[in-house]
Structure 1
Amino acid sequence: MNLKVLVSAIVMTALPFAAHAAGDAAAGKAKSVACASCHGADGKAPIPTYPNLAGQNPKYIELALKAYKTGQRTGGQAAIMTGMAAPLSDADIANLAAYYASLK
């Protein structure tokens, strides 16, 4: 097997694990209290119009929260989410993403 192919295969296999390691799930759990009323304490939204976050791809959560924070994401619940995301630091966002990704 070609060395480049082998290295690429190893890196691609490790990427999903690296995404989970980016944030601190315990810190994310503590920060998620503000999210629970809409997204549920367990990441499963009690209201059908709000998305479930449990088991979501952490990179998606990070990108979505950053887009809300900067006003790049509009429509739907953007007005609410922009206000919720505005005070979050990059570390807070990574921690929330790690927490919700860890839920099943």
Structure 2
Amino acid sequence: MNLSLPALAAAIALFPLAVHAQGADVPKLGTCVTCHGRNGIGTSPIFPNLAGQKSLYMVQQLEAFRSGARKSEMMNVVAKPLTDAEIEALAGYYESLKPGS
């Protein structure tokens, strides 16, 4: 499956927010689960697994995507509007998940 950036962005925008209860209070999680899965397991081989990823690493990477210091056509768009608190919440959520679930 090879989606163009506009098609992927449209899929994200239309993706229903259907996260399990433990992540329901994490802002912006619905956007992340489109590619990285509800349980932090990528929905395609091109999307990395985030379950169990160290939160400090995720905070650093999301901040780099947000600032443009780390380049990714999709992640720069997704991370740009995130606040520091949202980044911390997302990083903590994915760190709390068991890898490989």
* TM-score of the aligned structures, taking structure 2 as reference length: 0.70
Q: In proportion to residue count, which structure has more helix?
A: 1
Partner of 1:98: 92
Deviation at 1:39, TM superposition (A): 0.4
Structure 2 runs not aligned, ≥5 long:
1-22
By relative contact order (CA 8 Å, sep 6+), the higher-ranking structure is: 1
1:1-58 C-alpha deviation (Å, 9 max, x unpaired) = xxxxxxxxxxxxxxxxxxxxxxxx7643x42111111101111012011110010000
1:70 aligns with 2:67: yes
**Which consecutive segments of 4 or more residues in structure 1 shift more than 6 A?**
none
Among 36, 43, 50, the residue aligned to 2:47? 50
Aligned residues: 76
Structure 1 runs not aligned, ≥5 long:
1-24
- Partners of 1:37 and 1:49 lie apart in 2 by 13
Structure with bigger gyration radius: 1
- Partners of 2:44 and 2:62 lie apart in 1 by 20
Contact (CA 8 Å) 1:43, 1:54: kept in 2 or not?
A: yes
Partner of 2:76: 82
Contact (CA 8 Å) 1:27, 1:96: kept in 2 or not?
A: no
